[in-house]
């Protein structure tokens, strides 16, 4: 009980002797954090103007803000007269970094991977990417992980190290994405006429590119029951208005192509299976016996 009383008196005495210093340090800490956040926002805005990749700007601004706040905390400790404590913290930083790095290997690995991804810029916000069989739109990247929104609405938090170590497919980084599908028509139909109708239909769908990226429609295969015609076309994913909605363009093209072929009298047969019975007599005898 006496120890607690002595400790209480020591704390009270310290505040009486250093209250001015405490107030100054507190004001410095508040002002320092305010300035650090202000600098962080300014850096982010300036980088966003100079770089089209907002992910890099966000990541660099986060690291800058963390560094400035750490410096402010250390200066605050000096102002409070805790020089020895601060020196011990700085002296032990190397050992602490080693211990933490070994104990939290995955976190450190993801942090370094995040830095590499931020500067390498293999994707931007709202880019459609595929990694490890997971396909979705990039929504955010931070020190440890990248947030991906799948087309069916799921939020997937992928560790940065996984993205760095595995092949990354970016379907929208240059603004152009090609879709394709196959339609089978009956052999009694004219494939040349079908191709003309399909080409006209695809070109009339809003969002399908023309010119150097014009659609290509060719006979792909002479299957058992159908003449398979392959349809290839390009869409613009770079435009912000279509960046996340180009999947619907593919659906529109397929729907209108099928409707146009049916409207013009083309048959779209399904797979046909032919069954032959080479033991008819035996089968008839068995049926009569059963009767």
The model's pLDDT over 148-175, given as tens digits with 9 standing for 90+, comes to 988 788 899 988 888 888 888 888 777 7
CA distances from 55 to 52, 85, 142, 176, 288 (A): 9, 37, 9, 21, 79
Q: Which helix (H) or strand (E) holds 156?
A: strand 155-159
CATH architecture of 2-91: Orthogonal Bundle (1.10)
Whether residue 118 contacts residue 59, with contact meaning beta carbons closer than 8 Å, is answered with: yes
How far apart are the C-alpha atoms of 179 and 235, rounded to whole Å?
Answer: 8
Report the C-alpha gap between 94 and 90 in whole angstroms: 8
Query: CB pairs under 8 A, 24+ apart, for 91-94?
Result: none
Q: Considering the entire predicted model, what is its pTM?
A: 0.53
Quickly list DSSP for 83-149.
Answer: HHHHHHHHHTHHHHHHHHHHHTHHHHHHHHHHHHHHHH----TT-EEEETTEEEEEEEE-SSEEEEE
CATH architecture of residue range(s) 123-170 = Roll (2.30)
| Residues forming CATH 2.30.30.60 domain(s) in the chain | 123-170
Q: How far apart are CA 22 and CA 82, in angstroms?
A: 12
Q: Where along the chain do the CATH 3.30.70.100 domains lie?
A: 176-263
**For 228-282, what is each residue's pLDDT tens digit?**
999 999 988 766 445 555 667 888 999 999 999 999 999 888 766 666 666 655 5
The model's pLDDT over 178-192, given as tens digits with 9 standing for 90+, comes to 889 999 999 999 999
DSSP 213: G
CATH number of 176-263: 3.30.70.100
∠ CA 248-252-258 to the nearest 5 degrees?
Answer: 145
Higher local confidence (pLDDT), 37 or 92: 37
Residues of the chain with CATH 1.10.287: 2-91
| Residue environment code for 262-277, b if the CB has 16+ CB neighbours within 10 A, otherwise e | eeeebeeeeeeeeeee
């Amino acid at each position: 009980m006496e120890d607690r009383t002595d400790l209480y008196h020591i704390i009270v005495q310290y505040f009486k002797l250093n209250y001015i210093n405490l107030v100054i340090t507190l004001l410095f800490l508040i002002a320092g954090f305010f300035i650090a956040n202000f600098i962080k926002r300014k850096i982010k805005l300036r980088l966003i103007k100079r770089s089209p990749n907002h992910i890099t700007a966000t990541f660099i601004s986060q690291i800058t803000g963390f560094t400035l706040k750490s410096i402010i905390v250390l200066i605050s400790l000096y102002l409070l007269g805790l020089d020895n404590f601060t020196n011990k913290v700085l002296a032990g930083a190397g050992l602490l970094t080693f211990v933490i790095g070994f104990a939290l290997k995955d976190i450190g690995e993801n942090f370094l991977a995040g830095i590499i991804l931020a500067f390498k810029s293999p994707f931007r916000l709202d880019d459609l990417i595929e990694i490890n069989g997971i396909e979705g739109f990039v929504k955010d990247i931070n020190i440890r992980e990248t947030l991906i929104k799948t087309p069916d609405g799921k939020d997937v938090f992928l560790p940065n190290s996984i993205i760095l170590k595995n092949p990354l497919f970016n379907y929208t980084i240059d603004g152009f994405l090609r879709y394709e599908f196959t339609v089978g028509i009956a052999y009694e139909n004219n494939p040349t006429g079908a191709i003309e109708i399909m080409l006209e239909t695809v070109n009339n769908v809003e969002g399908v590119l023309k010119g150097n990226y014009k659609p290509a429609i060719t006979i792909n295969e002479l299957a058992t029951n159908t003449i398979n015609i392959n349809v290839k076309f390009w869409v613009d994913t770079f435009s912000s208005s279509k960046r996340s909605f180009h999947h619907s363009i593919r659906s529109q093209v397929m729907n209108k192509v099928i409707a146009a072929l049916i409207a013009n009298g083309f048959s779209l047969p399904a797979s046909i299976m032919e069954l032959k019975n080479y033991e008819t007599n035996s089968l008839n005898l068995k049926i009569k016996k059963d009767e």
